[in-house]
Amino acid sequence: TNIPTFRLRRSSVRRRYSDFEWIYKALKKRSSGANIPPLPGKVFFNRFSERVIEVRREGFERFLQTVAEHPLLQTESQIISTFIQDSNFN
């Protein structure tokens, strides 16, 4: 990314569904003027199939791209850049 909020141009991190639920709730709570996109739903059957994993990965990627590119969310919250770039995010 070239967005100034992010200190790294590229990053790769691993996140659990519960981490995405946390960031979603935190953004909803802190960002009254922004429309936070929904997360992909939980999967209970065939959740380890390659197709299901890929569809969910794409959904999370769309969520992160939408959130990271949103002008209000970029300026209102440091948690987005930390969530996306910090491998020690807790």
* Positive/negative CA dihedral, 73, 76, 77, 81: positive
22-31: long-range pairs with CB below 8 Å, 24+: 23/67, 23/79, 23/80, 23/83, 24/63, 26/77, 26/79, 27/67, 27/73, 27/77, 27/79, 27/80, 30/76, 30/77, 30/79, 31/72, 31/73, 31/76, 31/77
Is residue 1 scored above 60 in pLDDT?
no
Residue 64 has pLDDT above 60, yes or no: yes
Residues 10-57 have pLDDT tens digits of: 667 788 899 999 989 988 888 767 788 999 988 888 888 999 999 999
Residue 76 has pLDDT above 90, yes or no: no
Residue 89 pLDDT > 80? no
pTM for this prediction: 0.76
